Amino acid sequence: MPKFCQMNFYWLSIATFVVWPTVFCRNVPVQENGDVCSNDVDEASILQIQNGSNVATVLLHAKEVCVKGSSGCWESLSMYRIQMWHKVMADKPQWMPRSVFNHHDDAIGEVVCRGGNELVLFYRHIFKAAGHGVFANLKKIGKNTSISVNSPEICSSFDLGNPNHVHFTFAREPISRFAAAYAEIEHRVDIGEPWLVYKKMKLILAKHPRGSVKRAEAFFSEFLRSGIFGDGHVKPQSEYLGHIKDCDIPMHFIGAVENMSADWSRMLEHYNCQQDAYDDHEGLHPNDERDKNALVKAINTSSAHSFIDTQASVDIATQRLKDMDMASMETMLQSEPTMLLRLCWIYLPDFVIFEYDLPAACKEDKTLAAIVQQTQK
């Protein structure tokens, strides 16, 4: 008989501050292998099975290994993408989950708490999830904060045996983040950033006037084809978790952008660190208001993670252009519900791992809704 893994608790915050097991087996039968739990399903079987139950198993396993910082994170996410891609396109996926071990946008902040306690906060920056705000607040409360830290430096500095070393990140409602990413990439194309991805996107998007639904559709088609050439703004947030080059560092705390101030305080309070409250104005540009209401009307989400109140990281684009880009994406998703459904399938690991509610239109897909329900058991 398969055993259920023994759980060692540590803290994670996903919108509401919840205690999760270090190993995310969540009542899935597993076999014990030392102190590591692994699903009793081999890779070949998983890839051959196309029913919702086994998709849920793959997603639960991804949640386990990604939050633990395991090298198995991208393998599990790849299994899921191969398994579900027929729901998105007839062709095989041309872009797969991959490591972010060359990531150079993390941060380390040494925080002296009132009362003398000291923490070292290691921040994994997920693009389009309040990164500028976190950077600024780390600088505000830290005596020595390093921004644009590369992954090897995180590995060499983090001490798994030190309870005052805290690895954390913030996640964002996936559809809202995608819309914000579209506006961000449009802006980067507009200002002529020299990266090859934006030069390619300029050629693709130039076929249609900016602000048009056709242009948003062209962007979405390229996203399905190439993942916008691996651009980090549209990269699923779950792919920012998992193994860092040369080391496995578990995620101790995951907060929700939509509950930024409260989750920031909960993280510090849990580690007995009295410090200044999160400053919503730190790191924000003045043109963020539109982003706070991204796609509320378009996707009609009932999620408790209401992004009406989000303190999301801002788009650098001007308010006028941002309004135009966001409106075109909203219109496209409203008029083409199959596009939104495809997006939900691609970002399903994010919905499951970070526990965001599916948009109402995606819940109408019985298979998709059943998979999510099974991951919540």
Q: Per-residue b/e over 143-175, b at no fewer than 16 CB within 10 Å?
A: eebebebebeebeeebeeeeebbbbbbbbbbbb
| CA-wise closest residue to 143 among 110, 108, 106, 107 | 110
Flag whether 207 is in a domain. Answer: yes
pLDDT tens-digit series, residues 280-326? 877 654 334 444 444 444 444 444 333 333 333 344 446 778 778 97
Sign of CA dihedral 140, 185, 125, 268: positive
Check if the beta carbon of residue 130 is closer than 8 Å to that of residue 176. Answer: no
Check if the beta carbon of residue 233 is closer than 8 Å to that of residue 127. Answer: yes
| Cα radius of gyration rounded to whole Å, the chain | 20
Q: How confident is the model at residue 364 (pLDDT cuts 50, 70, 90)?
A: very high
Flag whether 186 is in a domain. Answer: yes
The yes-or-no verdict on residue 46 having pLDDT over 80 is: no
**Overall number of domains in the chain:** 1
pLDDT for the residue 9: 35
Range with the largest mean pLDDT of 19-23, 45-49, 213-217: 213-217
Flag whether 351 is in a domain. Answer: no
Flag whether 305 is in a domain. Answer: yes
Flag whether 340 is in a domain. Answer: yes
Flag whether 272 is in a domain. Answer: no
The pair of three-digit structure tokens given for residue 147, joined into one six-digit string: 């921004």
CA distances from 371 to 77, 233, 333, 375 (A): 15, 26, 23, 6
pLDDT for the residue 290: 42
Mean pLDDT of the chain: 78
Flag whether 185 is in a domain. Answer: yes
Among 13-17, 201-205, 234-238, where is mean pLDDT lowest? Answer: 13-17
Give the domain range for residue 202: 174-237+286-344
pLDDT tens-digit series, residues 59-101? 999 999 999 998 889 889 999 999 899 999 988 888 888 755 4
pLDDT tens-digit series, residues 209-244? 999 999 999 999 999 999 999 899 999 999 999 877
pLDDT for the residue 93: 86
Flag whether 363 is in a domain. Answer: no
56 DSSP assignment:
H
